[in-house]
Chain A
Amino acid sequence: MGPGPSTDSTVSPSILPIVLADGLTKDYGKLRVVDRISFALAPGECCGILGPNGAGKTTTLKMLVGHVPATSGELQVLGYSIPNEARAMRARIGIVPQQDNLDPDFTVVENLRVYARYFGLSRSEIDKRTPRLLDFTALQDKANSRISQLSGGMKRRLSIARALLNGPELLILDEPTTGLDPQIRQAIWQLLRQLRREGLTIVLTTHYMDEAERLCGRIILMDRGRILADQNPQALVRDRIEAHVLEVHGSDCESWHRSASLSPEIRCERAGESFFYYGENLEALVQSLDEWTGVQYNYRSTNLEDVFLKLTGRELRDG
């Protein structure tokens, strides 16, 4: 005997997840690029997909927007089944590509107008939204400039403005600040933080730790197509790595390393000419360095980058 309709009505209506991925897999021939990943994204979350080159970040994003069909697994975005209903879903999301694909033949305003037409927006609606978006992205003075007259940062901001034209419920950004100056990156972060405060759900990929740490309330760390960790950045650092790290380098570091008395709790890694010691408390080890003049060191709390290196390894990725 199953539960009657009255029992059903007592179940509190759960919030519909923005993204629901279950066992999502992508194979290219024999190569598995994304390997059975599962995650759910709640409204208002800002989620960073972090990982080295070839981790499967961009492929995951392409599956989310319906540009790449999954080999197996289930995927829903805003309740739409992807890729079958991807076009309808894309009417309600914004996409900022890794490489700007603005129309160089058009001015800033023309770019927005032409793009808005793809969403079926009327001219009056377009004219209402455009000044607001130019204002938000600080491009008011550039409204009639050609794209070739814009700096890299302005182009990026215009790409974001374009992605917001349809009033999206989910914003997807593929490496939003790769290749930009530090000042420009700060400005982009400010825009994204503002959108986050307004409650927009955001998914972005990045390989910058600082970007992930500053922007995202949640980090999905990927490597070789798998999810290695899925937590908020502070918890990730707290749970996945020792509290402190001592980095030692210099001409004498090898002989110091041999002389040092390392307790078994201390984890040592070597990368090229440097030694890394991880532990909860390394004060004694730091003090033993004082009499060594041919050794430089840096003693600090561990951060997201240390977690990243611990979980994904130190070898070079050229993929």
Chain B
Amino acid sequence: MVRPWDRWVAVWRRNALVWRKSARTALLGGFAEPLFYLFALGYGLGGFIGQVQGISYIGFLAAGILSTSAMNAATFEGLYLAYTRMEVLKTWDAILSAPLGIVDVVMGEVLWMGTKSLISGGLILSVAAVMGLVGGWQAFGVLPVVFLAGVCFGSLALVVTSFARSYDFFVYYITLVVTPMVLLSGVFFPFSALPESIRLGSACLPLYHVVEVIRPLVAGQFSSAVAWHLVVPAGYAATATAVAVWRFNYRLLR
């Protein structure tokens, strides 16, 4: 019998092979767009703002944009593409006809979503490095963190997908959860500028904690004191993955 890890990798591999076929287009959407924001806002607003928390505004913004686009890569994959595989292409049905179960499908998918975030975050980090926005070797630490962020936001998106009856359903999640979270998690401006009540709300969501870890890593000022922030995305990832398994079992195998 095939071991669990091999089964997850088989599902991961299928998605990776599909992605490779259209990588150029996929990269343009997931990579070029955040860079436009980084340049336009970083240089445009940066001139008025000057320094933020001891670094240039564009350097401050780079970490935020990196976190957000890593999140978006996994979220898009977990909503639209996973729904397509489940309902339109029936890829999951095909996988479940082989000796794999729902746990294998969800684990393979979630690992792939982590990989999507890793690709997206890694590319933006490279550009930031070329632009001289990276403070030091500690920036390599960004890579495992964006992978974790991808697993976290990917599994959350899968939970949403498990309730979806059409693509329209995703608008609720994006408009009511993702967008406010991006605006209120210290991506574009320091978190401390927000009123206390909103800060408390944001602190319950994973993106703020991801940004809090990634920003010092990019700036080369990482201290292990901020590492506890990772507990929040890790907790979300574990919970959402378990809920997704339970939900898809209920939805697909009944």
Contacts and interface: CB of A to CB of B under 8 A. Distances in A.
B126 interface: no
B33 interface: no
Contacts of B2: 91, 119-120
B81 to A, nearest CB: 11
A67 B11 CA distance: 18
B89 A104 contact: yes
Given A106-B18, A114-B17, A95 B99 contact: no
Nearest to A89: B99
A105 B10 contact: no
B246 to A, nearest CB: 15
Interface string B85-118: 0000111011111111100000000000000000
Interface in A65-120: 65, 67-69, 86-88, 90-91, 95, 97, 99, 101-106, 110, 114-115, 117-120
Contacts of A99: 90
Interface size class on chain A is 20 to 34
A106 B6 CA distance: 21
B18 A97 contact: no
A103 B253 contact: no
A316 B148 CA distance: 55
Nearest to B10: A117
B17 A118 contact: no
Interface string A241-279: 000000000000000000000000000000000000000
A168 to B, nearest CB: 11
Given A117-B10, A117-B13, A101 B99 contact: no
Interface size class on chain B is 20 to 34
A65 to B, nearest CB: 7
**Which secondary structure dominates where chain B touches chain A?**
helix
B21 interface: yes
Contact of B94 (A67, A68, A97): A97
Interface in B205-254: 252-254
A145 to B, nearest CB: 15
A48 B11 CA distance: 33
A114 B14 contact: yes
Contacts of A106: 17-18
Most chain A C-beta atoms within 10 Å of own C-beta, residue among B10, B22, B95, B97: B97
Interface in B70-96: 89-91, 93-96
Given A91-B1, A104-B89, A119 B99 contact: yes
B17 A90 contact: no
Contacts of A90: 97-99
A87 B101 contact: yes
Interface string B1-31: 1100011001101100110011000000000
Contacts of B1: 88, 91, 120
A82 to B, nearest CB: 12
Interface string A124-164: 00000000000000000000000000000000000000010
Contact of B90 (A97, A110, A118): A97
Nearest to A163: B97
B93 A97 contact: yes
B98 A114 contact: no
Contact of B7 (A67, A97, A102, A118): A118
A102 B14 CA distance: 12
Contacts of B21: 105
A88 B97 contact: no
Nearest to B90: A101
A118 B18 contact: no
A239 to B, nearest CB: 36
B97 A97 contact: yes
B88 to A, nearest CB: 10
A101 B98 contact: no
Contact of B100 (A87, A95, A97, A104): A87
B9 to A, nearest CB: 8
A68 B100 contact: no
12 contacts: A67-B96, A68-B253, A87-B101, A97-B94, A101-B93, A105-B21, A106-B18, A114-B13, A115-B94, A115-B98, A117-B14, A120-B2
Please list the 3 inter-chain residue pairs (A to B) with the smallest Cβ-Cβ separation, ordered nearest first.
A118-B98, A120-B2, A101-B90
Given A105-B18, A120-B6, 20 more contacts: A65-B97, A67-B96, A87-B99, A97-B90, A97-B93, A97-B94, A99-B90, A101-B89, A103-B18, A103-B91, A104-B89, A105-B22, A114-B14, A115-B94, A117-B14, A118-B11, A118-B100, A119-B2, A119-B99, A120-B10
Interface of B: 1-2, 6-7, 10-11, 13-14, 17-18, 21-22, 89-91, 93-101, 252-254
